[in-house]
């Protein structure tokens, strides 16, 4: 039976980063993934994910975002892959909206460079946008997007370069842990190690059922359109990433054009599902809904519908992450529940998981992510 220093379960965004960072510290790492490398069946695909620092979810995330912003260029340099594009970003909505007011609060608290734009400013700066007179926006020059597939590819490449053994199309059937180590049982065999890192993505409800955390899985749809008019108006050097909230709290987000296509999606509000039963067929009424919603605010975007793809959010009740040692097994580290806003943190989460696994602690601020806040398990040291 093969034995390792650390086994990593799940090699999507977070797991691939963990495998690399832990192997880079001289550990014998085994990474196990149930699908092929860089697959499209979880939450790490779709060509783009927004990165931003003026964070409306909670100002406590900002130090981690600043560190991630340092690590993306390093990852590109070390892997030779293009991952991050800086475009600037706008957070749009009524003054009292969470998207605007929360972003503004984070920017003010951490001294982040930003501008406040009224509706006229927004139309002048970005003519594709048609805000109402009540809308305001926070503009952040450091925002942009990353390519999730390139991120996963880069981390897998670097993990193998650092000596990690990576196994694909091998499903984990269960794991146990005690004071002497961990044992992982898969569809192809069993493995032992001193430590275990669990990055289950949308399979968290089953894989981490012992925690008692009420994870929920939410089906999300990403849409691509060919915009009307000159697609050059949506080029990355001319157009920002954006999140836009209406007066009733509904949000959508989008990106500059890539190869003539503009991607948009609703932020939350998807149907409950499970990772194994998600409906991957996108209905006509869903296409009509996003077309009407986006078209009222960015008229040129939904010119011609091209395609769509489904992915999943793994939500916690408070929409904050779970990153911590397992409350009952100090040699098991968990990273789950990224609630639809986690990918921008991938490189720093990898660093945190390496800290917790190799050193037993991290200097990064992660108290917000303690599973003890749900009252379903004991506190984590």
CA–CA separation, 167 and 127 (whole Å): 48
Nearest to 208 by CA among 34, 353, 376: 376
CATH number for the domain including 191?
A: 3.50.50.60
Q: 355 and 224 in one domain?
A: no
Q: 303 and 183 in one domain?
A: no
CA–CA separation, 248 and 270 (whole Å): 16
Range of the domain at 14: 4-44+149-212+318-374
Q: 173 and 142 in one domain?
A: no
CA–CA separation, 182 and 184 (whole Å): 7
Q: 34 and 54 in one domain?
A: no
CA–CA separation, 195 and 332 (whole Å): 6
Q: What total of structural domains would you count in the chain?
A: 2
CA–CA separation, 144 and 136 (whole Å): 19
User: What pLDDT shows up at residue 3?
Assistant: 84
Bridge-based pairing of strands 262-266 and 216-226 is: antiparallel
User: What pLDDT shows up at residue 377?
Assistant: 52
CA–CA separation, 31 and 11 (whole Å): 7
Instruction: Give the pLDDT of the chain (381 residues) as one tens digit per residue.
Output: 668 999 999 999 999 999 999 999 999 999 999 999 999 999 999 999 999 999 999 999 999 999 999 999 999 999 999 999 999 999 999 999 999 999 999 999 999 999 999 999 999 999 999 999 999 999 999 999 999 999 999 999 999 999 999 999 999 999 999 989 999 999 999 999 999 999 999 999 999 999 999 999 999 999 999 999 999 999 999 999 999 999 999 999 999 999 999 999 999 999 999 999 999 999 999 999 999 999 999 999 999 999 999 999 999 999 999 999 999 999 999 999 999 999 999 999 999 999 999 999 999 999 999 999 997 554 433
User: What pLDDT shows up at residue 352?
Assistant: 98
Nearest to 57 by CA among 325, 243, 241: 243
Residue 330's Cβ-count burial label (10 Å; 0-12, 13-18, 19+) is middle
Q: 156 and 8 in one domain?
A: yes
Q: 237 and 138 in one domain?
A: yes
β-strand partners of 304: 226
Nearest to 253 by CA among 90, 125, 41, 131: 90
DSSP state of 261: B
């Amino acid at each position: 039976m093969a034995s390792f220093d650390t086994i990593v379960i799940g090699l999507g965004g977070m797991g691939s980063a963990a495998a690399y960072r832990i192997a880079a510290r001289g550990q014998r790492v085994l990474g196990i993934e149930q699908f092929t490398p860089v697959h499209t069946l979880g939450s790490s695909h779709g060509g783009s994910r927004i990165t931003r620092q003026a964070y409306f979810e909670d100002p406590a995330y900002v130090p981690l975002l600043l560190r991630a912003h340092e690590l993306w260029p390093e990852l590109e340099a070390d892997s030779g892959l293009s991952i991050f594009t800086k475009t600037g970003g706008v957070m749009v909505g009524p003054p009292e909206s969470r998207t605007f007011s929360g972003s503004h609060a984070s920017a003010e608290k951490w001294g982040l460079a930003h501008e406040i734009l009224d509706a006229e400013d927004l139309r002048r700066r970005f003519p594709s946008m048609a805000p109402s007179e009540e809308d305001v926006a926070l503009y952040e020059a450091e925002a942009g997007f990353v390519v999730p597939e390139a991120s996963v590819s880069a981390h897998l490449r670097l993990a193998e370069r650092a000596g990690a053994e990576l196994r694909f199309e091998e499903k984990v059937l269960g794991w146990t842990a005690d004071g002497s180590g961990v044992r992982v049982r898969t569809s192809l065999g069993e493995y032992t190690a001193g430590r275990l890192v669990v990055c289950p993505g949308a399979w968290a409800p089953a894989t981490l059922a012992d925690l008692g955390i009420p994870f929920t899985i939410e089906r999300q749809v990403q849409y691509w359109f060919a915009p009307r008019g000159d697609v050059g108006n949506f080029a990355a050097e001319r157009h920002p990433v954006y999140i836009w909230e209406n007066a009733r709290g509904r949000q959508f987000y989008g990106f500059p054009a890539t190869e003539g296509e503009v991607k948009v999606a609703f932020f939350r509000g998807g149907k409950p599902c499970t990772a194994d039963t998600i409906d991957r067929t996108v209905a006509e009424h869903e296409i009509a809904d996003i077309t009407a919603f986006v078209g009222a605010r960015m008229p040129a975007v939904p010119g011609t519908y091209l395609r769509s793809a489904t992915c999943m959010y793994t939500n916690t009740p408070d929409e904050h992450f779970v990153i911590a040692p397992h409350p009952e097994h100090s040699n098991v580290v968990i990273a789950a529940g990224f609630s639809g806003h986690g990918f921008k943190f991938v490189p720093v989460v990898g660093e945190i998981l390496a800290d917790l696994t190799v050193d037993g602690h991290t200097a990064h601020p992660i108290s917000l992510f303690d599973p003890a806040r749900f009252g379903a398990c004991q506190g984590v040291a």
